[in-house]
Amino acid sequence: MNYPIFDDPDEYLAFRRGNFIYAPFKAWFEWRAIERCLEGLDDISTVCDCPCGPGRIFSYWQKKSFNVIGIDLSEQMADAADKLHKKIQLKGRILQADAFKLNEVLDEKPDLIASVRFSYYFEKDTRIKLLKCFAQTTRKYVLVQYKTGQTIKGIINKYKSRKSDFPKNFCSFEDIINEVRQAGLVCVRIQPIAETSDRVFILAQKPNKKLSLGHKPVIARQSLQKRLIKSAAAAVIFLALLLSPLRHIVMDTHEQQIEHIVREYQDGNDHFYVSKSSFIEDLTLSKNLSVLSEPQDAESLVRTDQIEKEDSFFIVSARDISTLSKSSVWEKLHLLKKINIAGSSFFLLSTEQPRIPIRSSMLINNLSSLS
């Protein structure tokens, strides 16, 4: 099972927030969708946020006055969540555990299990297994996020040809309803975040005498005419932003930084590798731009590129570069520049001789300054 584990809370939060102009709207749209799913439910006091990451939506749960049990498999994420949980004085606790084994770690069933930005990393059978685990563990409700190809942005993103360490799976509304039913839950509501998002929240409930598995859910969408008008307006605004001198402020720039570096240094026979990170989720990869899953892979990648008569370029984090410095491939690499991406230091290394020779000691000094 390809389980997505992120272990850098600060980087994760910086990426999820986005730029300072868009960030408030991004959070507002997400909270609004959750609010619409939970509207009218007055029988929830305890929520299990799983996986909770560093506690990205704890503030929303606090607003609802819920007791919060946060669960994450990553030790770093669980530690960060625990600090925030205590800082904002939430009731409940944080556990480091597997989302697929909730019934083994929870001694009391929560009223609601919420799972955001998680299920779509898995194939259908695994998603149903996850939902079944939630169904067995919750007292009443499950709130889970899917990716769909039935919103305006979903249609676009679904057909983007892109490689990824953690490929994301898109589902139709009908697929979602069937998966929820196969897990033994009743699909109550499907709530898109917006037509400009490919994510939807699904509210499901354990069946009872009044609510059978055959219940037809509410699919909260506007008429086709309104959606077309809104998408046309969004397209005009988006085009205006693209042409605006302020586009670097209002758009996510992390991927643009990497793509600019590739264009700057690409001379036709170069292969670029980027350290695996949450901020490259929407980076368009290609045959010449790949993810470096583990720094230990660099040696074999360089060897393969040399056979193909290609130069290797690595855009790597300080942590990965520390590992590289202890490997045999280190002597083949040259430091070209230091880069700040999403508030973190990255380094551009290459097997190609730099235009201006840079000694390894300079790199060591840079690394020392980070500690």
Q: Is residue 3 part of a domain?
A: no
CATH of the domain at 82: 3.40.50.150
**In a shared domain, residues 66 and 187:** yes
Which residue, of 174, 203, 221, is where some domain finishes? 221
Q: What is residue 141's predicted lDDT score, i.e. its pLDDT?
A: 98
Peptide bond into 207 cis (omega under 30): no
**pLDDT band at residue 339 under the 50/70/90 scheme:** confident
Tokens of 200: 């939807």
- Mark whether 91 and 206 lie in a shared domain: yes
For residue 363, is it within any domain?
yes
Residue 97 lies in a domain: yes
In a domain, 173, yes or no: yes
pLDDT of residue 28: 86
Q: Looking at the structure, tell me whether residues 162 and 234 fall in a common domain.
A: no
Domain of residue 98: give its range: 9-221
Where are the extended beta strands (E) located within the chain?
A: 46-49, 67-72, 92-96, 112-115, 141-148, 170-171, 186-192, 199-205, 218-219, 270-275, 289-292, 311-317, 334-341, 344-350
Mean pLDDT of the chain: 84
Across 328-333, average pLDDT: 90
Give yes or no: residues 190 and 162 share one domain.
yes
**What pLDDT, on the 0 to 100 scale, is given for residue 166?**
57
As beta bridge partners, residue 93 has 69
Which amino acid makes up residue 94? I
Among the candidates 212, 234, 251, a domain finishes at 251
Whether 324 maps to a domain, the answer reads yes
Q: Alpha carbon 99 to chain centroid distance?
A: 16
Q: In the chain, how many H helices and how many E strands?
A: 14, 14
More confidently predicted of 362 and 92: 92
**Residue 237 pLDDT grade (very low, low, confident, very high; cuts 50, 70, 90):** low
Question: Does 245 share its domain with 355?
Answer: no
Claim to verify: residue 136 and residue 212 sit in the same structural domain: yes
Q: Please check whether residue 174 lies inside any domain of the structure.
A: yes
φ, ψ for residue 117, nearest 5 deg? 55, 50
Q: pLDDT of 297-322, one tens digit each?
A: 999 999 999 998 899 999 998 888 88
Structural domain ending residue among the three candidates 201, 221, 241? 221
Whether residue 198 sits in one domain with residue 326? no
Same domain, 205 and 334: no
Name which residue leads in pLDDT, 99 or 213.
99
What residues have CB less than 8 Å from 172, skipping those under 6 apart?
148, 149, 150
Which structure tokens are listed for 307? 């056979």
Predicted model pTM: 0.68
Query: Quick check: 71 pLDDT over 60?
Result: yes
Residue 4 falls inside a structural domain: no
The reply to whether 163 and 61 lie within a common domain is yes
Phi-psi region of 342 (alpha: psi -120 to 50; beta: other; left: phi over 0): left
In a domain, 297, yes or no: yes
Tens digits of residue pLDDT in 251-265: 456 777 888 888 888
Predicted confidence band of residue 95 (pLDDT cuts 50, 70, 90): very high
Indicate if 246 and 267 belong to the same structural domain.
no
Q: Indicate the pairing of strand 289-292 with strand 92-96.
A: unpaired
Same-domain status, 216 and 281: no
One domain, residues 208 and 244: no
Query: In one letter, which amino acid is 151?
Result: T
pLDDT digits (tens, 9 = 90+) for 53-70: 999 999 999 999 999 999
| Tally of domains in the chain | 3
Is 96 exposed, middle or buried (CB count within 10 Å of its CB: 0-12, 13-18, 19+)?
Answer: middle
